[in-house]
Chains A and B, each alone.
Chain A
């Protein structure tokens, strides 16, 4: 399967590529070659670090290309900052718009007794009907490392609680996102990536 992984120079792609290859996919990396987005059977947007780095997606034309691919029905998975990019924006970089596929904004965890960032293994409460999280049992753990998060809405596919409940996964039509790192979440994470790769792809934006 032709999986296009988008590199916007925000951190390291090695782990994501390794996990995709382990599952039998053939990832191709692009940092600006739009043809790889146009020919993609799946698109993965990883991401660690700062929301401001997504500015590069606009500058290289990748935002427009991804928007078109999503409209054609190509399954899309955003990971961590890659999930947050699907929203209208983030308070981490207020002047940098996201894709606005989901209308809400991402915000920092409120300060207080608990540490921010949220780092470590936390459990998922999966909502019924999620294709991405198919066969993930209640309470299965995944690995998080982030300070900003998306709110819980109708499109939320799974919630996790840290300080307050937030969207651990989001899913609508062919667009999916996970706040955690499936490539670092052991057997549970590989199962989720495998669901994404094997999803037949009905429904479009």
Chain B
């Protein structure tokens, strides 16, 4: 039986893992290669490394980090942040990434999705969408807005419509982050996640808001997510993917166990 995936996400800044609340107030949370290996050992189904600096000068640092992280990692490994061209993607793949995640660069030029998919296959392209409900809209969920620049700026696209376009262009997965919930540990936005998941035929990875096991049960059930991303729940020894999955199994969610 296909299982729900628990994906460990490492936000990386200047070669170090960091964690903030709503993308600000960053705290150092360790070495990416060490953290990725630990998460894989402790049962994470997949690792995502998001470079939140993503500056031009930082690219070489990022590629070194990717190479070092990928070396002994034998689960799927996604790299995001600063992938602006098919060439950037090629370098990330060469360094050991299995998938790249594209966000603002794909919004600026949607053909980037086609280009990476054509060269490396759809399975290698994750389109990350930073979303906020639109309180002023008739339907705040179905008309949720896409944001860029770490959630500071409107992209001028509706989330559901952009996810559909991304799929049509050859995205293999959607990584949906609720900016309203991110870092708050109050739960995923299940309504928004299910609205997107029901609109596309590719997997949707829910992100933003994980704080308890119950939040994961909700997003896999009501939220219709295929996978869920977790960062803060794993850091600082709060929990491990394995213990999370053992609890999910007890709640009737199909997960990869033993792992």
Chain B residues with CB under 8 A of A187? 74
Cβ of B226 and Cβ of A115 under 8 Å apart?
Answer: yes
Q: Is A61 an interface residue (CB 8 A)?
A: no
Cβ of A115 and Cβ of B203 under 8 Å apart?
Answer: yes
B-side interface residues, number (CB < 8 Å): 32
Q: Is B102 an interface residue (CB 8 A)?
A: no
Q: Is B38 an interface residue (CB 8 A)?
A: no
Cβ of A119 and Cβ of B256 under 8 Å apart?
Answer: no
Chain A residues with CB under 8 A of B173? 119
A14-B96, A115-B202, A120-B203 known; A186 and B120 CB under 8 Å?
Answer: no
Q: Is A121 an interface residue (CB 8 A)?
A: yes
Chain A proximity of B176: nearest CB distance (Å): 15
> Main SS of chain A's interface residues?
mixed
Chain A residues with CB under 8 A of B3? 120-122, 141
Residue contacts A-B, CB under 8 angstroms, 30 given = A11-B121, A12-B93, A12-B124, A14-B70, A14-B94, A14-B95, A15-B98, A22-B74, A48-B120, A49-B122, A115-B202, A117-B122, A117-B123, A117-B202, A117-B203, A118-B2, A119-B123, A119-B172, A120-B227, A121-B3, A121-B45, A121-B256, A122-B2, A141-B3, A143-B76, A146-B123, A184-B74, A184-B98, A185-B74, A186-B259
Q: Is A183 an interface residue (CB 8 A)?
A: yes
Cβ of A183 and Cβ of B74 under 8 Å apart?
Answer: yes
For chain A, give the interface size range. Answer: 20 to 34
Kindly identify, within residues 118 to 177 of chain A, every residue whose CB is under 8 Å from any CB belonging to chain B: 118-123, 141, 143, 145-146, 161-162
Chain A proximity of B149: nearest CB distance (Å): 29
A residues bordering B, Cβ < 8 Å? 10-12, 14-15, 18-19, 22, 48-50, 115-123, 141, 143, 145-146, 161-162, 181, 183-187, 189-190
Chain A residues with CB under 8 A of B1? 122-123, 161
Chain B residues with CB under 8 A of A161? 1
CA distance A68 to B3 in the complex (A): 40
